[in-house]
Amino acid sequence: MFGDHIVDNLIQEIKKLKKELDAVILVHNYQLPSIQDVADYIGDSLELSIKVAVEVNAKYIVFCGVDFMAEQVAVINRNAIVLHPDPSAQCPMANMITLEDVRRARKQYPNTPIVMYVNSPAIVKAESDYIVTSANAVNVVKAIDSDVIIFGPDRHLAEYVAEVTGKTVIPIPPNGHCPVHVKFNPFEITNLKTLYRDSIFIAHPECTADVKKQADFIGSTSQMIKFVRNCQCKHVLVGTEIGLIYRLARENPDKVFIPASTSAICLDMKKITIEKVYRSLKDKVYRVEVPEEIARRVVKAIENTYRVLGVEPPWSKK
């Protein structure tokens, strides 16, 4: 750990390097507070991808989050050099699905659309028909003209989508999950609700069904941010990775945020440190590269997704 003055110096150096190199820093909502403080853009993976598609013209993009998110940015912005400060920051759920899983499902259910959660490797997305986020998964599945859908890799999001849409959703792999969001426990939430009687509980769709049953609101991190902004509540029990609380508290000083589980920490997200961001800019490491053919097929699946929702992809309006 660094002392405050070292962190302050690094932040100053990062600001200088950003200007010199023509770089921007994109930061996921679950990142450490010190990383959120140096962000040019902060958001969930969908928000950040759209920013990259329509607003960012920088030469370098430093992506602070896990590997599949940095890869996604490299897929969408083919002009910038995308840097990931620590390639060992990987999403365990994204690593639960393989190309073989998708190919096997395609063979077993030949005419069934394959919907892939954005939390997956580019090579898996390239083999899929649609790419969704936790914010739009329900609407995309509703809009697809099929009563049966293959969905990977999060089985809890798949179950939620099936429940809301009434469609048959086949999860691939059968037990893909986020190790952080399965940590929420329904009994702990009941206890917290008893302790904070006026509280509301917001949950991410990656949580298990018995946790979501207790939620007053279910949504992605960006949907949670909007919901909290507009709600007349004092105490909010937060059912997602603990990093979101920093942003929620900063934006809503009149409200109190309580983690619904103190162990909901994504250690991979926390691997990005201010020192690594500095090194990333200084040494221009670690470059994220996605082969042209894979990127082309991923973009095609993303465009299919926008079109099934009846909207044009953001980059087509540029």
Q: Which is nearer to ligand SF4, 33 or 291 (CB)?
A: 33
Q: Which of 178-182's residues contact partners 24+ apart within 8 Å by CB, and which partners?
A: 178/91, 178/92, 178/93, 178/119, 178/154, 178/206, 179/92, 179/93, 180/241, 180/264, 180/265, 180/266, 181/156, 181/206, 181/207, 181/208, 181/239, 181/240, 181/241, 181/264, 182/156, 182/206, 182/207, 182/208
Question: By CB under 6 A, what part of segment 228-247 binds ligand SF4?
Answer: 241
Among 180, 203, 245, 274, binds ligand SF4 (CB under 6 A): 180
Asked if 261 contacts 188 with a C-beta cutoff of 8 angstroms, the reply is yes
Question: By CB under 6 A, what part of segment 105-134 binds ligand SF4?
Answer: 119
From 10-18, 55-63, 174-182, 284-292, span contacting ligand SF4 (CB under 6 A): 174-182
CA distance 284 to 278: 9
Asked if 39 contacts 63 with a C-beta cutoff of 8 angstroms, the reply is no
Regarding 64 and contact with ligand SF4 (CB under 6 A), the answer is: no
Least Å distance, CB 181 to ligand SF4, is 6
Regarding 178 and contact with ligand SF4 (CB under 6 A), the answer is: yes
Regarding 268 and contact with ligand SF4 (CB under 6 A), the answer is: yes
Q: Which is nearer to ligand SF4, 243 or 313 (CB)?
A: 243
Regarding 277 and contact with ligand SF4 (CB under 6 A), the answer is: no
Least Å distance, CB 92 to ligand SF4, is 5
Regarding 179 and contact with ligand SF4 (CB under 6 A), the answer is: yes
Among 25, 35, 62, 66, binds ligand SF4 (CB under 6 A): 66
User: In the stretch 80-109, what mask flags binding to ligand SF4 with x, by CB under 6 A?
Assistant: -----------xxx----------------
Regarding 26 and contact with ligand SF4 (CB under 6 A), the answer is: no
Least Å distance, CB 189 to ligand SF4, is 18
Regarding 266 and contact with ligand SF4 (CB under 6 A), the answer is: yes
Structure tokens at 50: 């759209």
Least Å distance, CB 296 to ligand SF4, is 26
From 173-181, 185-193, 225-233, 250-258, span contacting ligand SF4 (CB under 6 A): 173-181
Residue with tokens 């930061």: 27
Q: Which is nearer to ligand SF4, 180 or 277 (CB)?
A: 180
Q: Which is nearer to ligand SF4, 42 or 233 (CB)?
A: 42
Binding site for ligand SF4 (CB under 6 A): 66, 91-93, 119, 178-181, 241, 266, 268-269
